[in-house]
Each structure stands twice: as C-alpha cells, then as structure tokens.
Amino acid sequence: MNLHPGTSLIQPYAVDLDLEMGIMKNAKQHTVRRASDMSGHYADQTALEQLIKDGDPVHYEVFECLPPEEYGQIFFCISTLQPGKVGDEYFMTKGHYHTVPHTGEIYLCLRGEGYMLMKTSDGQFAYQRFHRGGIVYVPPYWAHRSVNTGKEPLVSFCTYNAEAGHNYGDIEKEGFIKRVLEVSGRPLIQ
Amino acid sequence: MNLHPGTSLIQPYAVDLDLEMGIMKNAKQHTVRRASDMSGHYADQTALEQLIKDGDPVHYEVFECLPPEEYGQIFFCISTLQPGKVGDEYFMTKGHYHTVPHTGEIYLCLRGEGYMLMKTSDGQFAYQRFHRGGIVYVPPYWAHRSVNTGKEPLVSFCTYNAEAGHNYGDIEKEGFIKRVLEVSGRPLIQ
C-alpha cells in the first residue's frame, strides 16, 4: 500500500457521545469556558463582571477527539453552550477563524436553538438558525460563533479538517459585526 | 481577503435533517440502492436473486449536500440502511475506498445498531460497533462498509473531505475479508 507523505495510517476507533447531555464520554480534550474567559466579547462588560462575581458560570464546553493534525484526517467535537444572558446579550462562544483559513466546518445541531453568526475578514456577514436536526455549513474563510437564544443547552456536533487550527486572536480584535440581543423578549440580530 | 487557488468563497447555508427518519429534507443528491444494485456483494447470490424477484426492496438511501469538490470544503450526508438479511447475511452497503485514498470519514450513528467493517488495500481488517450516539472514525486509507444487525433502520450522519471521491470498483474486486452473518440468532463476524 502506498502511504502519502504527511498522512499517517492509524487504526480505526470509536467514541461515544451522550446526544442529549452534549458530552463525549472518552474525549481526549475537554475545554471549559466560563464567564471569566469571555472578557471583551460582550457589549456589556459591567454585566459580565457582575456575572463573574456571582459565581462565574460555565458558558460552554467542547469535547474533542484529536487524530493527527494531518491532511485527510478529520477532527470532531461536541459542543454544549449553556443558556443565559450577559445584560441583554445571549451567551455565545468566542468564535474563531481557522489558522488555515481556506478550511470549512460542519455543525449538526442536536438540541436547543440559536444562531450561528459568520463573518469574513473583509466584512461580509451571514447567519443561520440552529435547531434540532439543522446542519449549518460554514464554508472556508468564514469565522463562526454560536449563540444560544433558547432555554436549554445548545448541543452541536462539529467536524473539520484536522489541519485547520483555531485562530481566536483576529476575532478578539475585530469583533463580529453583529450581536444577538434580547429585545422585547425575543432574539434580535443587530 | 486572500483567496487560495482551488478553494472557492461560497455563502454559508443550512440543511435540515429528520434525525429519526434518516432523511435530509432539501438534499442536493438522493441515492437509492436496492437489492438489485447489490449483485456480487453477498455470499448467497441465489437468496439475493429471490429477494429481487420478491419485490427488490430498498437496501439503503444516501442524502447528500455537495459543496464544491475542493480542498477545505466538507461533504456531509445522512445514510439510512434498512434491516434485513440476504440468506444469513445482514443488509449492508457496498462499501468504498476514497478516490483520494489518504482521506478519512466520520460516522455518527443516530439510530439503530450494527457494525462498520473496515479494510486496507494490503489486507488489514477492523470493525467497530454502531449504536445511537456512537462515532466511528474511519482513518485515511481504510475502505468502509456499514452493516445493519438490528430490527430498525441504521441511521448515520457522515462527513468527509469534499475532494475525497468514491472508489467502489476495488471493493467489487476484493470483497471485504469478513462478513456479518446471523448465527443462532446473533450477529457473528466471520
């Protein structure tokens, strides 16, 4: 068999998810982001600081299994974003570009509701709704951030090229063009 | 924004699945494989021919949405394999390598039970169980075939590199090393 330089031959394996709880049972990496990890991302920094003082709740968790970071391998994760607000702004993820910018990502929503906000580095903006059974295709070049507008956890299964990498720094500088706020009891993208 | 040659900038989009029925509601491509499409794959060709005469039932359906076949784009599909047997052998998919052999595939099982059989072109064999919430990681180089050993449809969500392609021809020639048969009322890989 011809092996291609840069793509390892590894053994197949299996991983178990709890699709309702949004948990990977034997994850290789478990990332937890609390309110205190989100400084600078919300419009209302005072409300965020109060939330941190009031117990610094978990915003979201990401469970990942990490094959080699090589062409042809695929990363997959399950992400669970809690419901809540910082001021009038719904809980959200930091959002990121990929370090290899011309790689996309698939999100399959398994529970909850919300929005995927997307932007390009030259200022294009787009969004799609999250709901159970909905797939959002995030094409190459698009930064992406999840927002939970519901009352239960927003659970998504995600896959992307293993070599894609995460670039959070540019979003910290640029922001995301629009925000999702509760206005008169309903989510509004503005 | 710098675009990379060979990877288009397209707009984000969304697609809806019925996670229980195993259907993509606005699929771009819908493939249906019946018993008559499976000639040569089962050990008991006489039983297959009888099944074709008795109504040629659907074996499996694949619903796909097809971004450009370019580096960095990701294909995704939902696949529904019906329960049943051909002689003592459980219903299964044809199985395939990827045309770009050093690309993998992720399967997330949403309903049902069964096995993923996997092989390499130099004769290595592996399998993993399918059950609701189970992910099977099919690494680059591994051909893969799903087998439904349960009494209800086996529903899987799959993603892979958009440029991977399907190579069915080599499996038609090589077979799959092992089969999944019902022996004394239980599945046996042999």
List, for residues B28-71, the tens digit of each pLDDT value: 899 999 999 999 999 999 999 999 999 999 999 999 988 999 99
Phi then psi dihedrals of residue B101, to 5 deg: -65, -25
Question: Within an 8 Å CB–CB cutoff, is residue B116 touching chain A?
Answer: yes
Under DSSP, the state recorded for B141 is T
pLDDT of residue B65: 87
Report the share of chain A in percent with pLDDT over 90. Answer: 96
Query: How many residues in chain B?
Result: 190
Per-residue pLDDT at B95 exceeds 90: yes
Average the pLDDT over B18-32 and give the result. 93
Report the share of chain A in percent with pLDDT over 70. Answer: 100
Determine if residue A57 is left, alpha or beta; phi over 0 gives left, psi from -120 to 50 gives alpha, anything else beta: beta
Determine if residue A93 is left, alpha or beta; phi over 0 gives left, psi from -120 to 50 gives alpha, anything else beta: beta
Which member of A11, A110, A140 has the closest CB to residue B126?
A: A11
pLDDT of residue B66: 86
pLDDT of residue A66: 86
A 3-32 residues with CB < 8 A to B: 3-4, 7-19
The answer to whether B140 contacts A15, with C-beta atoms less than 8 Å apart, is no
Average the pLDDT over B71-100 and give the result. 97
The answer to whether B104 contacts A132, with C-beta atoms less than 8 Å apart, is no
Residues of B in contact with A12 (CB under 8 A): 116, 118, 126, 128, 136-139, 142
Mean pLDDT of chain B: 96
CA distance A18 to B36: 37
Secondary structure class of A8 (helix, strand, coil) = coil
Which member of A4, A129, A142 has the closest CB to residue B14?
A: A129
| Chain A: residue whose CA lies nearest to B75 | A106
The answer to whether A14 contacts B128, with C-beta atoms less than 8 Å apart, is yes
| Chain B: residue whose CA lies nearest to A129 | B14
pLDDT of residue A107: 98
Average the pLDDT over B96-115 and give the result. 98
Burial B80-118 (b: 16+ CB within 10 A, else e): bbbbbbbeebbbbbbbbbbebbbbbbbbbbbbbbbbbbb
Classify residue B1 by burial, with Cβ atoms within 10 Å: 0-12, 13-18, 19+. exposed
Find which of B7, B156, B174 to mutate to test the A interface (most A CBs within 10 Å of its CB): B7
Per-residue pLDDT band for A65 (boundaries 50, 70, 90) equals confident
User: Which residues have CB under 8 Å from A83's CB, separation 6+?
Assistant: A90, A91, A112, A148, A150, A151, A152, A153, A154
Query: How many residues in chain A?
Result: 190
pLDDT in tens, A19-40: 999 999 989 899 999 999 999 9
Q: Which residue has the higher pLDDT, A181 or A28?
A: A181
Which member of A9, A72, A121 has the closest CB to residue B1?
A: A121
Q: Kindly list the distances between the CA atom of residue A152 and the CA atoms of A88, A114, A155, in Å, as whole numbers in the listed order.
A: 17, 10, 9
Question: Within an 8 Å CB–CB cutoff, is residue B108 touching chain A?
Answer: yes
**Any idea which of A9-13, A63-67, A120-124, B137-141 has the lowest mean pLDDT?**
A63-67
Question: Within an 8 Å CB–CB cutoff, is residue A129 touching chain B?
Answer: yes
- For every residue of A62-127, DSSP letters joined together read EEEE---SSTT-EEEEEEEE---EETTEEPB---BB-SSTT--EEEEEEE-EEEEEEE-TTS-EEE
Rounded to two decimals, the ipTM of the complex is: 0.95
Per-residue pLDDT at A83 exceeds 90: yes
> Between vectors from CA A5 to CA B70 and to CA B170, what angle results, nearest 5°?
65
The answer to whether B102 contacts A10, with C-beta atoms less than 8 Å apart, is no
pLDDT of residue A129: 98
* Strand order across the beta sheet in which A125-131 lies: A125-131, A113-119, A143-148
Average the pLDDT over B122-133 and give the result. 97
The answer to whether B65 contacts A135, with C-beta atoms less than 8 Å apart, is yes
Residues of B in contact with A161 (CB under 8 A): 72, 74, 161
Residues of A in contact with B141 (CB under 8 A): 1, 3, 7, 9
| Chain B: residue whose CA lies nearest to A117 | B12
Closest to A152 (Cα-Cα) out of A109, A91, A111, A104: A111
A 47-76 residues with CB < 8 A to B: 65, 67, 71-74, 76
pLDDT in tens, B129-175: 999 999 999 999 999 999 999 999 999 999 999 999 999 999 999 99
Per-residue pLDDT at A131 exceeds 90: yes
CA distance A76 to A100: 17
Which member of B2, B16, B103 has the closest CB to residue A134?
A: B16
Find which of A20, A28, A102 to mutate to test the B interface (most B CBs within 10 Å of its CB): A102
Question: Within an 8 Å CB–CB cutoff, is residue B36 touching chain A?
Answer: no
Per-residue pLDDT at A60 exceeds 90: yes
Per-residue pLDDT at A106 exceeds 90: yes
> pTM for the complete prediction?
0.96
